[in-house]
Copies of this chain bind each other. A is one copy, B any other.
Amino acid sequence: MRYIDAFNHFSPKRYFDALVESPAGQKDIGKRVRGIPALYDLELRLKVVDQFPDYTQILSLGLPMVDRLWGPDKSPEMAKIANDGLAEVCAKHPDRFVGYSAVVPMNAPEAAAKEAERALKNGAHAVQLGTNVNGKPIDGKEFWPLYETIEKSGKPILLHPARSREMIDYQGEAKSKYEIWAILGWPYETSCTMARLIFSGVTTRLPDLKILVHHLGAMIPFFDARLETGWATLGSRTSDEDYGGVLKMLGKPMMHCFKDFYADTALCGGRIGTVCGLQFFGADHVLFASDAPFGPEGGASYIRETMKVIAALDIAESDKEKICHRNAQALFKLP
């Protein structure tokens, strides 16, 4: 089977060096990312990739995003450095890295739209977005020009959970301990942002915008009936805002909007979640992804376990081909 790994992480050298030298990088973040060498050490990364025959990667920047590390005065420049670095790595090793997603400075929305346009013209295959910009939502009107640019390119958004300061500092004593914010908070983040992108009208306004979400849709598949019945009465739990017209504005059943997302298999090799998510999104909207280099063995373990899970699924071989590479070829416009 041919595999295109749609969502995994790598930080090119010049960007990585700037990251660890940034104010945030000199604290926890720098220590943490340095502890994952396959995130920035190209030779090591190639060794991970080469363990798997007929396996290639679409590279996405490792977190954190530029807008968490630098203010709007500096983030546009850093996004460019990251994107050009990713392009260079791909150009050097096209047999291992078949493409990359660009980052954009979301704390500078106008510059974000410009950098998306530049990077996509320069060959980027997608734009990676965090689920929030330092705790602020990404569905505001200031981002519409960015989303229009991406829609026009025909290439997808890759949506990745972003830690926000509030996840750590303000989320309430009950969720701040034991790294709950990382293990459970991130998928929660992804789910919330999917809902917001729908209810704010972004997905209705831009019907051709393709969005690939991490963790196989996070909380959405398992809770499909909860969403459908719970949000059927959107507005009943709220007195300070009028949500009366939101569902009607969608122009189609709400759950269709959730199924319009694409979702990746980055579940760390979890089988029962993969079955659940695949049943929700269907084989045309699920893409193989490993989340490497996270997990044991510089990501090789996640790659291997995820391959095993898909191989063992009780579905048609043609569906497995879609999941493992055909959907990625179409979505990223690969040859």
A residues sitting closer than 8 Å to B (CB atoms) are 28, 31-32, 35, 131-132, 135-138, 164, 166-167, 170-175, 177-180, 182-185, 187-189, 191-193, 195-196, 199, 215, 219, 221-232, 234-239, 241, 243, 246, 267-273, 275-277, 279-280, 295-296, 301-302, 305
Chain A facing B: main interface SS? helix
CB of A270 within 8 A of CB of B32, answer no
CB of B28 within 8 A of CB of A178, answer no
List the number of copies, as a whole number.
Answer: 2
CB distance from A39 to the nearest CB of B (A): 13
> Could you say which of A178, A199, A234 has the most chain B C-beta atoms within 10 Å of its C-beta?
A178
Q: Given contacts A179-B230, A273-B276, list 17 more A-B pairs with CB under 8 A.
A: A32-B237, A35-B236, A135-B174, A137-B174, A164-B174, A166-B171, A167-B172, A183-B226, A183-B230, A184-B191, A184-B223, A187-B223, A222-B273, A223-B270, A223-B273, A229-B295, A230-B268
CB of B188 within 8 A of CB of A184, answer yes
CB of A135 within 8 A of CB of B183, answer no
Contact of A275 among B187, B241, B276 (CB under 8 A): B276
Contact of A178 among B189, B243, B270 (CB under 8 A): B243
CB of A178 within 8 A of CB of B234, answer yes
CB of B132 within 8 A of CB of A174, answer yes
Cα separation A136 to B171 with both chains bound (whole Å): 11
CB of A276 within 8 A of CB of B272, answer yes
Q: Please, which residues of chain B bring their CB within 8 A of the CB of A237?
A: 28, 32, 179, 182
Given A172-B166, A223-B187: A229 and B180 interface contact (C-beta under 8 Å): no
Cα separation A65 to B295 with both chains bound (whole Å): 40
CB of A177 within 8 A of CB of B136, answer no
Cα separation A224 to B301 with both chains bound (whole Å): 16
Cα separation A196 to B237 with both chains bound (whole Å): 28
CB of A270 within 8 A of CB of B225, answer yes
Q: Please, which residues of chain B bring their CB within 8 A of the CB of A267?
A: 222-223, 225-226
Cα separation A135 to B240 with both chains bound (whole Å): 22
Contact of A272 among B173, B182, B221, B246 (CB under 8 A): B221
CB distance from A241 to the nearest CB of B (A): 7
Cα separation A112 to B99 with both chains bound (whole Å): 59
CB distance from A43 to the nearest CB of B (A): 23
CB of B136 within 8 A of CB of A174, answer yes
CB of B170 within 8 A of CB of A268, answer no
CB of A270 within 8 A of CB of B222, answer yes
